[in-house]
Amino acid sequence: DIQMTQSPSSLSASVGDRVTITCRASQSIRSYLNWYQQKPGKAPKLLIYAASSLQSGVPSRFSGSGSGTDFTLTISSLQPEDFATYYCQQSYTTPRTFGQGTKVEIK
């Protein structure tokens, strides 16, 4: 199975901060990398697919980059509604594994 490792596991940030979350795959997954946001008690929500494509309706402050094994999710200016847990997921092969999550908390 392809292992997905996110860092950090959690972070504290303030409104307006630039936030970066990284995701590393245990082998190359080309650009088959997605990012989801999950708030407590809710289903995950797709933010970014194919490493860098912004899902329709998602604010442009979210962006993704990377290919191969190393990927990044960036929030350019953190907003109050962005405090949540973020997961990366590879769709290169099955099982379609997720990272362990990064919890973004209010500083």
Partner 1 sequence: QVQLVQSGAEVKKPGSSVKVSCKPSGGTFSSYAISWVRQAPGQGLEWMGGINPFFGTTNYAQKFQGRVTITADESTSTAYMELSSLRSEDTAVYYCARDARSDYLYFDYWGQGTLVTVSS
Binder of partner 1 out of 32, 37, 84, 104 (CB under 8 A): 32
Of 19-27, 67-75, 76-84, 98-106, the segment contacting partner 1 by CB under 8 A is: 98-106
* Residue 95, preceding peptide bond in cis (omega within 30° of 0): yes
- Residues numbered 66-95 forming contacts with partner 1, rule: CB under 8 A: 87, 89, 91, 94-95
Smallest distance from the beta carbon of 67 to partner 1, in angstroms?
12
Q: CA dihedral in degrees (91, 55, 44, 84; nearest 10)? A: 120
